[in-house]
């Protein structure tokens, strides 16, 4: 196992375990987080664990041109009751993602330290949020790390009303210039929208830094 210290560096992603675990420890500083994402690495851990850093192979991604929108979702998107904005309430979105109850999870991996770290990324222009509003109430959204026009690294989504997170995701993709959306690990929800697996080596080619 690779243990990180105060030095801002990571082992080569080829050293990750079969399930993608690369290293543990370190911190959630802006410098370390940006280095991680630019190398195809992301943090994911429970509140009672050390910081765990992952780089799975294969990688679950979505190419915007392959987005699948069902007929029923097209009808939802046409409804005027839901309004979509970008970067209007980043903290509200990440806090909602942290507090939403999810099937099969006893707690949230989005800890207070994670919230503080990603809010700093947002303040510096390295993170982005998409909000869905209904009658001026925040009812859905997503957030992630912005690596420029090539890649957006999606972190989490939430819905307080039916289909709100899908509305956020689909609207965002339909109005984006990103070549690739990093979904990190497989979910049935994202697979239904067109996400697929590619090799880690192929994924890293999109991280042009």
Domain boundary at 58, 91, 106, which? 58
CATH number of the domain residue 6 falls in = 3.30.70.3550
Strand partners, 4: 25
Domain that holds residue 79: 60-205
Strands of the sheet with 21-25, listed across from one edge: 2-4, 21-25, 52-54, 42-43
Tens-binned pLDDT, residue by residue, of the chain (209 aa): 799 999 999 999 999 999 999 999 999 999 999 999 999 999 999 877 899 999 999 999 999 999 999 999 999 998 778 999 999 999 999 999 999 765 544 446 798 999 999 999 999 999 999 999 999 999 999 999 999 879 999 999 999 999 999 999 999 999 999 999 999 999 998 999 999 999 999 999 999 76
Same domain, 125 and 173: yes
Q: Residue 24: exposed, middle, or buried by beta-carbon count in 10 A (0-12, 13-18, 19+)? A: middle
Q: How many helices (H) and strands (E) does the chain have?
A: 7, 11
Domain match, 53 and 148 both: no
Indicate if 118 and 190 belong to the same structural domain: yes
Q: pTM here? A: 0.93
In degrees to the nearest 10, what's the CA dihedral of 73, 182, 158, 133? -60
Q: How many structural domains are present in the chain?
A: 2
């Amino acid at each position: 196992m690779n243990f990180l210290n105060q030095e801002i560096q990571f082992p080569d992603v080829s050293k990750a375990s079969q399930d993608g675990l690369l290293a543990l420890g370190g911190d959630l500083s802006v410098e370390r987080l940006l280095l991680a994402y630019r190398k195809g690495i992301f943090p994911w851990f429970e509140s009672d664990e050390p910081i765990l850093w992952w780089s799975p192979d294969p990688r679950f991604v979505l190419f915007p041109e392959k987005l699948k929108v069902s007929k029923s979702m097209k009808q939802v998107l046409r409804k005027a009751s839901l309004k979509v904005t970008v970067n209007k309430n980043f903290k509200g979105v990440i806090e909602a993602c942290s507090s939403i109850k999810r099937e099969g999870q006893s707690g949230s991996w989005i800890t207070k330290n994670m919230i503080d770290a990603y809010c700093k990324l947002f303040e510096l222009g390295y993170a982005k949020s998409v909000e869905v509003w209904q009658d001026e109430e925040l009812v859905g959204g997503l957030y992630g790390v912005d690596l420029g026009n090539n890649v957006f690294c999606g972190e989490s989504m939430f819905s307080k009303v039916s289909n709100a997170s899908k509305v956020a995701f689909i609207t965002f993709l339909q109005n984006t210039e990103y070549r690739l959306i990093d979904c990190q690990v497989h979910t049935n929800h994202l697979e239904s929208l067109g996400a697929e697996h590619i090799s880690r080596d192929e994924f890293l080619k999109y991280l042009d830094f």
